[in-house]
Amino acid sequence: MNFREVNPYYSPLLYFIGKNLQAMAFRMIWRRKVRGLENVPPFGTPVIFAANHRSLTDPSNVGSSLPYPIFYFAKEELFQVPFIGWYIRRVNSFPVRRKEHDVGAFKTAIDVLDHGGGLMFFLKGEGVWILKSNGKPNPVSGCSPARPGRRSSPWGSKMPTG
């Protein structure tokens, strides 16, 4: 996948440095152990990673655990903070306006998946329940750009096969 086709600001060097420094910090300070990486699809497979968002370290904790770079939804307000906005844009975050139906963010997400990229988004601690066509509740990870034939992985769960 050519990340710059989706994000012209992408910096492989910044992503590499940030990912490895954060991975080292999580291993040394918090003694993080990562399990289940065998369930992560290979690079170039469109996949959605969904996780609960409980602390400010969640994006870097998840991203530094994965074997390849991915893209992140990030609240639009973060892009207004001088250094943070500059940095997160270069490590594959893109803004989403949370208080409205942000069609642009979902078009970017679909573009990421169409190019074979991984996409991470965080929930506010709970999934969203929708009704299936048969009227039974179906737990989903919020409104996602998932389409038939794409994979979606709640972080830590086994990936579906087939």
For the residues 35-57, what does the mean pLDDT come to?
86
More confident residue, 70 or 135: 70
Using pLDDT thresholds of 50, 70 and 90, give the confidence band for residue 94: very high
By the 8 A CB rule, do 31 and 128 touch?
no
Query: Is the pLDDT confidence value at 134 over 50?
Result: no
Query: Is the pLDDT confidence value at 24 over 90?
Result: yes
Closest by CA to 36, choosing from 65, 72, 64, is 65
- Mean pLDDT rounded to a whole number for the chain: 79
The whole-number pLDDT of residue 13 equals: 96
The whole-number pLDDT of residue 46 equals: 92
pTM: 0.73
Query: Is the pLDDT confidence value at 76 over 80?
Result: yes
Count of C-beta atoms within a 10 Å radius of residue 118: 27
Cα(141)–Cα(130) distance, integer angstroms: 10
Write the CA distances from 87 to 20, 55, 90, 91, 128, integer angstroms: 15, 19, 5, 7, 30
Closest by CA to 90, choosing from 25, 2, 13, is 13
The whole-number pLDDT of residue 156 equals: 43
Residue type, 154: P
